[in-house]
Amino acid sequence: MTEALDVVEFLLTARVYDRHQDLDENDLPPAHRSALWGDDGVPRPPQTTEDATREATGVDNPWDAVSGLMFTDRDAFAGNVSLVDDDMAIDWYVERADADRVRDNPVLAFVFGDEFGVDYEAARDANRSVQADPQWIDGLLEEYFDEDDEEMLDLVEVRSPAEIEVTLDDIVLTEEQEEEMSKVAKAIEHRDYLATIGLSEIGKLLFVGPPGTGKTSTARGLAHQLDLPFVEVKLSMITSQYLGETAKNVEKVFEVAKRLSPCILFMDEFDFVATTRTGDEHNAIKRAVNTLLKSIDEVSLVNDDVLLIGATNHPDELDAAAWRRFDEILSFPRPDEQMRADIISLVTSEVDVADFEPAEIAAETDGLTGSDLRLVLREAVLDALVEDRTELTQDDLMAAIEDFEDRDHLRNLDTLEDALDEDHDGHDHADHDHPTPE
Ligand SMILES: Nc1ncnc2c1ncn2[C@@H]1O[C@H](COP(=O)(O)OP(=O)(O)OP(=O)(O)O)[C@@H](O)[C@H]1O
Ligand SMILES: [Mg+2]
């Protein structure tokens, strides 16, 4: 039944879209839009092939779902499914649909909104815009960058919200991080208002913290939650061997971000900027970095709908010029005991663990990051698989922690000198061995 309703809705949407020139691609629900997408947008009339119908609705055999209805037809030769009697289709649909459905489909809200008490403008505003569709993004990237522009592909990666797997629910955030995420979400939602009152120095965040503390995941999760395209730039790639065009490519990244807007522009390894400015670097790199800083100054959330997030593991290497460009600094500390307990619970949520005691694990993992805890779990899972078990025990996890710490110790031998320096100063590792009461 819902299968038939989904298919009829799709066919009806295509029909209404075709009839009303006032409607544009942003009125189509994203799934319909991408199924109907042609070379350059959705053609009129839209091509409702069986394949497109399947893609739009997720119904495996769309024709089977509606072949029993009086007002549908299939042109087996062209592979099209269509409506042969619009009025009958409309009556049939209106009788069975509800307001939620119409609210999710601005095209139908345009014609049936009144009947369902749904406001067309509100439905359109809530609909994901065409700039967030993978097809549109691919088209844009093709327009800006040559296909064989390897340098560029190393430097930037663009994901549509549908292609982002991580959500904010997958990450354990500190209270400060939670607050900042809601603040940013509000700022994006009300950016028109912020523009009216002239508050434009907003929307540039710097995430600061050691590796594996969730900076990248949080930025992606935010894009997912806000349903925005995610443009990720790896700044160290600026030093790639094909330097000639880099400054120009940096400019292009910002142009792409502005065309994709609203979107999130994430710049990883931000410390790279500062070290290159002061270092004895190749001129082409310096030029690229200067272009980058200038572009950062010129982009804005309020005027361009681009939220900029920088991330760094080495805040100490950032100079004042780099700091000054961000209006909020958000710390990603190593998780405390409570957070570690929450993280281990979260990452094991799909795994059976007998005698699971997150608090005990948290107590034994001082200094480990979220990423380390994931590795611990992976180790435990693999070890259990070697014994042909898919159920873990608390002991498996505790053993994996011990292995992890041995390995970590080996790695630290490389940096023994650093460790000695730090111990000499009386901080860092010392507090791992002698926890101070809180
Ligand atoms: N607070 C956390 N809650 C849940 N998972 C976490 C947390 N922190 C890190 N992780 C997990 O660890 C992995 C690595 O995290 P992520 O890549 O976001 O770290 P990062 O801070 O960007 O590291 P780097 O500085 O090396 O780029 C991810 O799989 C992520 O889910
Ligand atoms: Mg990262």
> What pLDDT sits at residue 430?
38
Tell me what the pLDDT averaged over the chain comes to.
87
Higher pLDDT, 368 or 147: 368
- The bound ligand whose nearest atom lies closest to the alpha carbon of 172 is 1
Share of the chain above pLDDT 70, in %: 88
151/269 Cα distance (integer angstroms): 17
Q: Is 70 left (phi over 0), alpha (psi -120 to 50) or beta?
A: alpha
Residue nearest ligand 1's atom 27 by CA: 211
214 CA to centre of ligand 1 in angstroms: 3
CB 221 within 8 A of CB 167: yes
Written as one letter, the residue type at 263 is C
Length of the chain: 438
374 CA to centre of ligand 1 in angstroms: 9
List pocket residues of ligand 1, CB cut-off 6 Å.
171-172, 211-217, 313, 332, 335, 343, 346, 369-371, 374
Rounded to 5°, angle at Cα 270 from 264 and 271: 165
261/228 Cα distance (integer angstroms): 8
Sign of the C-alpha dihedral computed for residues 26, 28, 29 and 35 taken in this order: negative
pLDDT per residue as tens digits for the range 399-414: 999 999 888 776 665 5
428/336 Cα distance (integer angstroms): 15
Lowest mean pLDDT among 16-20, 85-89, 429-433: 429-433
> What pLDDT sits at residue 148?
61
Lowest mean pLDDT among 60-64, 113-117, 407-411: 407-411
Domains of the chain, residue spans: 2-127, 134-331, 337-433
> What pLDDT sits at residue 418?
54
Q: Which of 134, 161, 121 is nearest to 23 (CA)?
A: 121
User: What would the CATH number be for the domain defined by 134-331?
Assistant: 3.40.50.300
pLDDT tier for residue 433 given thresholds of 50, 70 and 90: very low
The pairing of strands 392-393 and 353-354 is parallel
pLDDT per residue as tens digits for the range 267-291: 998 887 766 666 666 777 788 888 8
- Domain range 337-433, CATH architecture: Orthogonal Bundle (1.10)
> What pLDDT sits at residue 429?
41
232 CA to centre of ligand 2 in angstroms: 10
> What pLDDT sits at residue 318?
83
